[in-house]
Amino acid sequence: MTTLVRIVLIDPSHPGNIGSVARAMKNMALSDLVLVRPRLFPHAEANALAAGADDILAQARIVGTLAEAIGDCAFIAGTTSRPRSYYWEFTTPRDIAERIVGLPEENRAALLFGSERYGLATEDLNHCNVLVRIPANPQYCSLNLAMSVQLAAYEIFMARAQPHSHTQLEMPLAPSGDVEHFYAHLLEVLNEIDFEDRTGHLMERLRRLFNRAQLDRNELNIMRGILSAVQGRRGQSARRSK
């Protein structure tokens, strides 16, 4: 069972919300908080609304990009209110909590929360293995940032207390940083072989495909090896044609 769960807030604009998130996390025994480009932090209002969770704020990490926030994470879930017609896998906080708790203990999971006004951007979603929608009144489904974190954290807290199945992996899941190197390598090879992107969204679709697959480190190495072999064969063909 993984105990490694990170809460990532992207572009939070109100310091009070950051403090309220820290309080929600401490209520549910979570402590790993990363802030991506916070507008105002540190801030007295954050400490005031943390209401005793100042230690969470004190150890919170501030980074400039989402890639920095999740580079060591193997499973990434993004919370969103986007319609289900969007082409990702959607699930609920309860389901995602069970999946996170079922991960082997060496795999770190991250839950992403977007800005209060805009939520997660498309480029943020491209890092996710799955998207999470919190069930709510369809006529009024807007939740406060801290409420969203509280609900997700509560489900994780409860899932840890229940018997559950474990995912048995040959190797640990590949961390996000390594997966990003794979995507860069894949794009490089697609460009080298002049693969036609007729829709303009090829890489987005390939990212969704591999994010759903949740490659472990060995599988990722196999894919990188295939790409390197393609490049090697192309190099040999080019030398023979001279």
Q: Look at residue 111 and give its three-state secondary structure.
A: strand
Cβ–Cβ under 8 Å, residues 126 and 183? no
Of residues 62 and 3, the one with the higher pLDDT is 62
CATH topology of 5-160 equal to that of 176-240? no
Give the pLDDT confidence of 82-105 residue by residue, as tens digits.
Answer: 665 556 778 999 999 999 998 988
Q: How confident is the model at residue 171 (pLDDT cuts 50, 70, 90)?
A: confident
pTM > 0.75: yes
* CATH superfamily label, 5-160: SPOUT methyltransferase, trefoil knot domain (3.40.1280.10)
Give the pLDDT confidence of 31-55 residue by residue, as tens digits.
Answer: 999 999 999 999 999 999 999 999 9
Residue 133: closest CA among 212, 77, 172, 184:
77
Among 31-45, 116-130, 203-217, 225-239, the least confident range: 225-239
Domain boundaries of the chain, sorted by first residue? 5-160, 176-240
Of residues 222 and 171, the one with the higher pLDDT is 222
State the average pLDDT over residues 229-235. Answer: 84
Return the half-sphere exposure (C-beta side, CA atoms, 13 A cut-off) of residue 182.
24
State residue 26 phi and psi, 5-degree precision: -65, -35
As a CATH number, domain 176-240 is 1.10.8.590
Chain position carrying tokens 């048995």 = 168
